[in-house]
Amino acid sequence: MPVGPGEYADVLRALGRLLDAEFAMAVEVVVGPDGWDVSWRKKGLGSDRRHFEESAVYGLRSFAGQSRGTYKEQPGGGLAEQLRTLGQELDEEGRVLARIVQEPDGLLVTTSRGADVAERKYLDEELAAASQRRREGRPGASGEAPSRLTVRRPVNPAKIPTPPRAEGWGHDDDRGPLSRRLGK
């Protein structure tokens, strides 16, 4: 069964992670009846292409769910965050993905809903702003109560144990930097 609305955010995020790891640029994704064809150029290394059968696409989806919170994002979010945000938009709109083409300033996306086929350009700035809005709406974002794990309690400095002083390590007669004490 093909991936459809409601499932794109996770699948596209996992695909974006794969593409980020490949240092991909000029990405093209074509969704067909037998799977997803993904092609890209590697920075300075030529081009690459992969075909993901539907079962592999679902594997990407389960990988995305399992690795949630374990991935260190690239500065600016990278393709993982861009594609995730695009997937969230498609999921909300109930659109079926047909094609994504990465252009220098954004993603050109072809989708359908019923007989309605649409092509829309998602600018990088739009995707970054949408991602930021979604991030702010997540639990633990600024303005909300911190999670149980991030609660800070005041500490009485008098109760903090001090490390024992080691004799001969200069704790009692510290006269500045070691280089000055050694005459260098």
**Residue ranges covered by each domain of the chain:** 8-139
pLDDT in tens, the chain (184 residues): 577 788 888 889 989 988 998 899 999 999 988 889 999 998 778 899 999 887 777 677 666 555 444 445 555 568 999 999 999 999 999 999 999 999 999 999 999 998 899 999 999 999 999 888 887 766 654 544 444 333 444 555 555 555 555 444 444 455 556 556 566 5
Cβ neighbours of residue 102 closer than 8 Å, sequence gap 6 or more: 25, 26, 27, 28, 40, 79
Please give the pLDDT value at position 76.
Answer: 55
CA distance linking residue 62 with residue 68, whole number of Å: 10
pTM of structure: 0.68
Provide CB contacts within 8 A for 18, sequence distance 6+: 60
For residue 151, how many C-alpha atoms fall within 13 Å in the half-sphere facing its CB? 5
**Burial classification of residue 69, based on how many CB atoms lie within 10 Å of its CB (0-12 exposed, 13-18 middle, 19 or more buried):** exposed
